[in-house]
């Protein structure tokens, strides 16, 4: 599973290896709101994902 990249509607999803716990690696869209209008800033991959 860790060698497969999944193409999703909102970007790509990858998984870390089993030794790392199969942590998902998925970029999040950053959007700003100015006077109620959204503006795309870019994609960011979190440095640390909190445990569920």
Looking at residue 33, what is its pLDDT? 96
Which residue is listed with tokens 């716990």?
21
Q: pLDDT digit string (tens) for 8-52? A: 887 788 888 888 777 778 888 899 999 999 999 998 888 877 776
Looking at residue 46, what is its pLDDT? 80
| 8 token code pair | 């999703």
15 touches 21 (CB < 8 A): no
pTM for this prediction? 0.53
Looking at residue 23, what is its pLDDT? 78
Looking at residue 38, what is its pLDDT? 96
- In b/e form, how buried is each residue of 13-46, taking b as 16+ CB within 10 angstroms? ebbeeeeeeeeeebeeeeeeeeeeeeeeeeeeee
């Amino acid at each position: 599973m860790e060698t497969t990249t999944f193409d999703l509607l909102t970007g790509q999803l990858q998984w870390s290896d089993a030794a790392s716990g199969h942590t998902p690696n998925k970029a999040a869209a950053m959007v700003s709101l100015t006077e109620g209008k959204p503006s795309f800033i870019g994609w960011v991959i979190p440095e640390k994902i909190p445990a569920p």
